[in-house]
Amino acid sequence: MAASSFNVRCRGLTLRYGRARRPSIENLDWDVHPGSTVLLGPNGAGKSTLLMLLGGGLRPTSGSVSIEGSSTRQPVGFMPQNVAALRGLTARQQVAYAGWLQGLRNSEAERRADEALERVNLSSDAGQQTKALSGGQLRRVGLAEVLVTGANLILLDEPTVGLDPAERSRFRTIMSDLRSDHSIVVSTHLVDDLDGLFDEVLVLQRGSVRFQGPLEDFMHLAPENEDRRRAEAAYLSLLPERTA
Ligand SMILES: Nc1ncnc2c1ncn2[C@@H]1O[C@H](COP(=O)(O)OP(=O)(O)OP(=O)(O)O)[C@@H](O)[C@H]1O
């Protein structure tokens, strides 16, 4: 994919749930950077809401998300925090089903499902019922469900939360591999492990942008003497009150 020719722009993006007193995303301007972006923010800051707006799962109350230069029918794919295991389906069938829902013919959906499962290192479990998979394996099925659609931009909502260290490391390796031919945006609470995986950082607080820029600039926000947990120190310097 030519990531650089693919643009996703948010302008004045605002989302208010029902009769909520204040918007969960407020007047947000953001150009999604080609490459990989980490989305940080305290609980309730609006990370999931922003990802759902980008993925088309929510319609903005006002403002817009525009997508230009995509070569596929489904330019953006969203993996939610909780990936559902569909009863009675194997991993291969569940991934192929996601492709079929996007309009692929059965044979094409199955072929792409095999490719996607290989990409997430699950080929050997393709015949397992998804209900029988571990939490980490199920997350990887969820990622394969996104890949099967051919999306250019992949949105991952807290993909490593609750995973054991081995599965977390496996997932990081897969994300790192995906950076070669996809743009990715990943929301996370885990600010200790950003280096080598992300180019850009977006920090949200109460639905507004608190910081956006290259990872290097973000790291410079950390006080001089903070070395080991530099990213966490940078993050805390933006959010002294730790409120959403
Ligand atoms: N379906 C909904 N109806 C009403 N309010 C909602 C709904 N979903 C989220 N909110 C509110 O919108 C705000 C942003 O929530 P969101 O889940 O996007 O934040 P988040 O940064 O992803 O939080 P977390 O890190 O806890 O997942 C919060 O105040 C939340 O209570």
Rounded percentage of the chain residues whose pLDDT exceeds 90? 71
Q: Which atom of ligand 1 is nearest to the CA of 45?
A: 21
pLDDT band (50, 70, 90) for residue 240:
low
With a 6 Å cutoff on the Cβ, whether 41 touches ligand 1 is yes
Task: State the pLDDT at residue 5.
Answer: 66
How many of the other CB atoms lie within 10 Å of CB of 228?
Answer: 7
Q: Where are the alpha helices (DSSP H) in the chain?
A: 47-55, 91-101, 106-119, 135-147, 165-178, 215-219, 230-238
Instruction: Dump pLDDT digits (tens) for 206-217.
Output: 999 999 999 999
Of 113, 79, 78, 71, the closest CA to residue 93 belongs to 113
The one-letter code for the residue type at 130 is T
CA 8 to ligand 1 centroid distance, Å = 22
List the domain boundaries for the chain: 1-71+152-244, 83-151
* Average pLDDT score over residue span 80-88: 94
The two tokens of residue 24 are 């969960």
| Whole-structure pTM value | 0.90
- Kind of pairing between the strands at 183-187 and 7-15: unpaired
Structure ipTM: 0.97
- 110 CA → ligand 1 middle, Å: 35
Separation of alpha carbons 239 and 96, rounded Å: 42
Q: What is the average per-residue pLDDT within 108-127?
A: 97
Q: In the CATH hierarchy, which fold is given to the domain comprising 1-71+152-244?
A: Rossmann fold (3.40.50)
Give 158 or 235, the one with higher predicted confidence: 158
Cα–Cα distance measured from residue 154 to residue 102, given in angstroms and rounded to the nearest whole number: 15
* Span from the CA of 27 to the centroid of ligand 1 (angstroms): 16
48 touches ligand 1 (CB under 6 Å): yes
Rounded to 5 degrees, φ, ψ at 52 are -70, -35
How far does residue 158's CA lie from ligand 1's centre (Å)? 13
40 close to 16: Cβ distance less than 8 angstroms? no
142 lines ligand 1 (CB under 6 A): no
Interval between CA 22 and ligand 1 midpoint (Å): 12
